[in-house]
């Protein structure tokens, strides 16, 4: 939270898009809840890709997509318990799906796949945000497992959707051109599971981390 506070002070919340994939999605949304509780402004937008939002694993897809998801074939309860270290798994800072939502939430982009073990997380958060009148998008890709297809046309389609969403969230005075940001996002998608380094060009403050479980703060 100290990092988020610093970035807000440095750039302004309206120039920040916070996001993450898998466990990174958990960190991103729980950070939004914590920032709100501490009186900090919300970012301009949030991108959650195959997010792990419910450490209790109460959603339907934890059963129906078990062994169907080729990336995460089985639930992760031992990992969840280790991470929680004795805390209540349903606490909103651990399972942000159970946090209090409102229409004042920042715009949220949700993505999952029909074979994603975490599909229910995205579906349930989408309905919860819709019920309170928050702005939210849900994109579910056919046959996609957790984390995507490692650079397939569907991954490129997802990258384009993320670029469009991020561009719409940012103020017009600081928007990157759609073409430039799309190329940077495609490079991130392509190296997602290979941990390879790519030259992402001179996009200010865009710092993707290697691996799937990551959180990205994109400022301009």
Measured N-to-C along each axis, helices 153-169 and 178-190 cross at an angle, to the nearest 10 degrees, of: 140
Q: Average pLDDT, stretch 121-147?
A: 98
Residues 81-117: tens digit of each pLDDT: 999 999 999 999 999 999 999 999 999 999 999 999 9
In terms of pLDDT, which residue wins out, 206 or 15? 15
Is the pLDDT at 38 greater than 70, yes or no? yes
Helix or strand or coil: residue 169? helix
Pairing of strands 214-219, 16-21: antiparallel
Q: For residues 29 and 47, give the distance between their C-alpha atoms in angstroms, rounded to a whole number.
A: 9
CB atoms near residue 156 (< 10 Å):
16
**List of domains in the chain:** 2-219 (3.40.50.1820)
**Cα separation, 122 vs 109, whole angstroms:** 10
Please state, in angstroms and rounded to a whole number, the distance separating the CA atoms of residues 29 and 46: 8
Q: What is the pLDDT of residue 179?
A: 53
Tell me the percentage of the chain whose pLDDT exceeds 70: 79
Q: What does the mean pLDDT of the chain come to?
A: 86
Q: How wide is the angle at C-alpha 15 spanned by C-alphas 14 and 21, nearest 5°?
A: 105
């Amino acid at each position: 939270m100290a990092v988020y506070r610093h970035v807000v002070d440095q750039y302004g919340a309206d120039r920040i898009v916070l996001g993450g994939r898998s466990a990174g999605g958990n960190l991103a949304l729980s950070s939004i809840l914590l920032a709100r509780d501490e009186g900090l402004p919300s970012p301009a937008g949030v991108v959650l890709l195959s997010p792990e939002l419910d450490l209790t694993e109460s959603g339907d897809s934890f059963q129906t997509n078990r062994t169907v998801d080729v990336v995460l074939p089985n639930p992760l309860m031992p990992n969840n318990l280790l991470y929680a270290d004795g805390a209540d798994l349903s606490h909103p800072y651990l399972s942000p799906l159970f946090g209090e939502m409102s229409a004042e939430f920042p715009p949220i982009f949700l993505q999952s796949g029909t074979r994603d073990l975490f599909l229910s997380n995205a579906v349930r958060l989408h309905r919860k945000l819709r019920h309170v009148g928050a702005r939210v998008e849900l994109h579910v890709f056919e046959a996609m497992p957790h984390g995507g297809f490692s650079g397939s046309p569907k991954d490129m389609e997802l990258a384009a959707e993320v670029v469009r969403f991020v561009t719409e969230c940012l103020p017009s005075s600081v928007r990157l051109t759609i073409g430039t940001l799309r190329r940077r996002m495609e490079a991130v998608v392509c190296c997602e599971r290979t941990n390879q380094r790519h030259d992402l060009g001179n996009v200010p403050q865009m710092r993707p981390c290697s691996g799937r479980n990551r959180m990205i703060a994109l400022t301009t």
